[in-house]
Amino acid sequence: MKLILGSASPRRRELLAQLGLTPAAIRAPDIDENPRKGEIPRDYVARIAREKIAALDCAADEVLLCADTTVSVGRRILGKPRDAAEAAEFLWALSGRRHHVLTAVAVRRGETVWERTVDTVVKFRPLSNEEVNGYLASGEWQGKAGGYAIQGLAGAFIPWLQGSFTGVVGLPLSETTTLLRAAGITAGTLSGHAEEQGTA
């Protein structure tokens, strides 16, 4: 079986590499990712992952992996900021508070789809003007749900989390391994067959 990554995210490719898996191909789905009116964050992220996997073709010898990550403060969804001003708004909303990072993973083989949504609670310490402005200047917020990357400079803002660190980065590895195994792809760290399974 060939593993197909339905995401252009370099972070998800890097996380798969931690499992010893290299996708045979990368296909980025083109869908409308805007939340529906009144949609709660958990329902939203699961819907987007399902729509991504439904939007891509999948051959008989392929296993397709898609994921979506969003940040929520209460019922408010913090997606990818449009500009630095919105990124600043997000950072101030997160400053000194706990929030949820939700990553939905969907795996498809033929007509069968396996799904899992992972919820991680993350705490930001109170941020200063200098820290927020410095982070905005770094540009690291661009293309990141909630306007930050835990694996980068923003790691210094986070004293505590409960859940999946890799889920916050963009792909919860433990849960993803379970879904891929159900679809016939075994992670290289568990099987020693990464090259064969991931790129055959």
Interatomic CA distance for residues 139 and 21, integer angstroms: 29
Q: Is 83 a catalytic residue?
A: no
Q: Do the Cβ atoms of 109 and 1 come closer than 8 Å?
A: yes
Read off φ and ψ for residue 73, nearest 5 degrees.
Answer: -120, 105
DSSP-derived secondary structure letter, 12 = H
Residue 64 structure tokens: 């397709």
Residue with tokens 């997160």: 94
Interatomic CA distance for residues 24 and 59, integer angstroms: 12
Closest by CA to 118, choosing from 104, 99, 106, 98, is 104
Residue 8 structure tokens: 């252009």
Query: Which of 32, 68, 83, 119 is an active site residue?
Result: 68
Note the helical H segments in the chain: 10-18, 41-55, 84-94, 129-138, 165-169, 173-183, 188-191, 194-199
Q: Which residues carry out catalysis? A: 68
